Amino acid sequence: MHQLLRPVSALVMTLALAACGSGSSTSPAASVGPATATAPSAAPASAGAPSAAGGGGSAACAAAPAGTAPTVTVTIKNLTYSPEPVTAKMGDVIGWMNNDTTPHTATLDDNTCTTDTINVGASGALTFSAPGTYAYHCTIHPTIMKGTITITG
């Protein structure tokens, strides 16, 4: 039995090493992996441009402290954000009130900042410290719930 497994193990190991060492720039892993790892994460988009891709939290956006009254209120109803687009000033608290029949989120498209899941009848809030235009979506309904936040100085 062990003698039968050795050739199979060697073949699997050879194929795995060959795949890792291919270095082909046309493979999906080669073209996707490094871009995610090296993209900047804190730069907000300027007017009309998409936000920068990245991993860690954005210095320009943060969850507002619990219980903070919103300066700007966005209503969620019938799988839409209203108003759309949202306009606020740096330091304003943007609050999303869920008047829909299902939970939602408000998440920047670059995934650097998000509300927690906003359950029916609840709210979530974000605040921005840098001007720019930020595209956002609901992570639960990303293809149909999209919006834009413009932060002015």
Distance of CA 19 to the CA centre of its chain: 30
Q: What is the pLDDT of residues 94-124, one digit of tens each?
A: 999 999 999 999 999 999 999 999 999 999 9
- The answer to whether the bond into 85 is cis (omega within 30° of 0) is yes
**How far from 101 is each of 9, 79, 80, 122, CA to CA, in Å?**
53, 9, 12, 11
Pick from 18-27, 36-45, 47-56, 64-73 the range whose average pLDDT is largest: 64-73
Q: Tell whether 39 is covered by a domain.
A: no
Mean pLDDT of 74-93: 98
Residue 97: which of 68, 119, 64 has the closest Cα? 119
Q: Tell whether 86 is covered by a domain.
A: yes
Q: What is the pLDDT of residues 42-53, one digit of tens each?
A: 333 333 333 333
Q: Tell whether 55 is covered by a domain.
A: no
Mean pLDDT of 54-79: 83
What's the whole-number average pLDDT of the chain?
74
Q: Which amino acid is at 117?
A: T
What CA–CA distance (Å, rounded) separates 136 from 104? 12
- How many residues are recorded in the chain? 153
Note if the pTM is more than 0.75.
no
Mean pLDDT of 70-91: 98
The parent domain of residue 92 ranges over 61-152
pLDDT band at 39 (very low <50, low <70, confident <90, very high): very low
User: Are 123 and 113 a contacting pair, CB within 8 Å?
Assistant: no
Q: Tell whether 125 is covered by a domain.
A: yes
Sign of CA dihedral 102, 147, 63, 76: negative
Could you tell me the CATH number of the domain that includes residue 81? Answer: 2.60.40.420
Tokens encoding 17: 């090493």
Q: Tell whether 127 is covered by a domain.
A: yes
* Phi (first) and psi of residue 61, to 5 degrees: -140, 145
Domain count, the chain: 1
Mean pLDDT of 130-143: 97
Q: Give the per-residue pLDDT at 59.
A: 65
- The answer to whether the bond into 83 is cis (omega within 30° of 0) is yes
Q: Tell whether 53 is covered by a domain.
A: no
pLDDT band at 66 (very low <50, low <70, confident <90, very high): confident
Q: Tell whether 11 is covered by a domain.
A: no
pLDDT band at 19 (very low <50, low <70, confident <90, very high): very low
Q: Tell whether 112 is covered by a domain.
A: yes
* Residue 28 burial (10 A CB sphere; 0-12, 13-18, 19+): exposed
% of the chain beyond a pLDDT of 70:
61
